[in-house]
Amino acid sequence: MLKLLLAEDDLDLAQTLVQYLELEGFICDHVSNGIAGLNLIKQHSYDVLLLDINMPRLDGLGLCQRLRDEGNDTPVLMLTARDQLDDKLQGFNAGTDDYLVKPFDMEELVARVRALSHRRSGQIQKLSCGDLQMNLSERSVIRGGQVLKLSPTSWRLLECLMRASPFPVSREALMDAVWGDDHPDSNSLKVHMYNLRKAVDGPFSGPLLHTISGAGFCIKPPEADTPDV
């Protein structure tokens, strides 16, 4: 079941959207300003974000830009009454993935949400966690100023974990990300995760790569309260 966040300050419209989306089988949280949206996004994992441009405290464009700057690659569908090309370009420059002009058809909204939910945003080029930075365009990984050398498999594993951070990724999802439908034996993932942990955490004092019992693996800052097993 897909989980959405709607950031919309028109409460009547928001109520209508939430009710319709929930009837379509989505879970939909709602906030009425950008700051509340930013706080909720830091606490929960969403499949798609629906952001109105004109909101108090922090507008949709500012919220989207903040998320992209922080490495959040959750797909963003911008909802707005602005229909000029410059307005749309401004939205895409802020990191939005799709654009829907009010008033819109509910069925079109659902179709676009479903399409966006199948992928992570392509707007993100830099992922970070603590002192670990992953630059996707330059294909480089740096921790504490030190360049890390990763195998292609370790790179794909780390990218999958960084995109989900700080939430865990299951073993099955990691194998899907690296090998697709052609999974190797379970020992292969174990060996590659050992090598990735050695590269990411070996030379450093605080661990970033954690094994979460019953959930898989996650990348979190050293100060985060994460149970290792």
pLDDT digit string (tens) for 143-184? 988 999 988 889 989 988 988 888 888 888 888 888 877 787
- Evaluate whether 3-117 and 126-219 have a shared fold: no
Beta strands 209-212; 216-219: pairing state = antiparallel
Say if domain 3-117 classifies as CATH 3.40.50.2300.
yes
Alpha-carbon distance of 99 to 72, in angstroms, equals 18
pTM of the model: 0.57
Written as six digits, the tokens of 105 are 């058809």
Mean pLDDT (the chain, rounded): 86
Listed by start position, the domains of the chain span 3-117, 126-219
To 5 degrees, how large is the angle CA 54–CA 116–CA 71?
A: 70
- CATH level 2 (architecture), domain 126-219: Orthogonal Bundle (1.10)
Residue 122 reports pLDDT greater than 80: no
Query: Could you tell me which of 201, 211, 193, 169 has the C-alpha nearest to residue 184?
Result: 193
pLDDT digit string (tens) for 67-102? 888 878 889 999 988 777 777 777 788 888 888 989
